Amino acid sequence: DAGVIQSPRHEVTEMGQEVTLRCKPISGHDYLFWYRQTMMRGLELLIYFNNNVPIDDSGMPEDRFSAKMPNASFSTLKIQPSEPRDSAVYFCASSPGGQENYEQYFGPGTRLTVT
């Protein structure tokens, strides 16, 4: 298995632009998580899905952020409009569920810079 795939790996955009981050989880995993990591705040959970259904989006910073999971093999995180404070590394992770749900498999991340 190729693991969790994220695209793009790097994104540089100007303030006000729309940004879309993409994730393909590991096949067969029931859970998908979106995280944001910064030096100041560490790794923060933004939202997670179980069987394509959003379960907890309490970590989504504000209405500018939205996430979708239209099917079991694809998810997007969208920021519109983007702001410089959104600059961070965004990780997608998936896990199989059940008793082994604590082991999350992370993608390589998308490094976002908003100027």
Partner 1 sequence: RKEVEQDPGPFNVPEGATVAFNCTYSNSASQSFFWYRQDCRKEPKLLMSVYSSGNEDGRFTAQLNRASQYISLLIRDSKLSDSATYLCVVIHNTDKLIFGTGTRLQVFP
Strand order in the sheet with 65-71: 5-7, 19-24, 74-79, 65-71
> What would the two tokens of residue 110 be?
């998308």
Cβ of residue 15: shortest distance to partner 1, in angstroms?
25
Stretch that binds partner 1, among 18-26, 39-47, 64-72, 75-83 (CB under 8 A): 39-47
Q: What are 13's strand-pairing partners?
A: 114
Cβ of residue 80: shortest distance to partner 1, in angstroms?
25
Candidates 18, 55, 80, 115: give the one binding partner 1 (CB under 8 A). 55
Residue 66, classified by CB atoms within 10 Å of its CB into exposed (0-12), middle (13-18) or buried (19+), is middle
Give me the residues that bind partner 1 (CB under 8 A), please: 31, 33, 41-43, 45, 48, 50, 55-56, 91, 95, 97, 101-104, 106-109
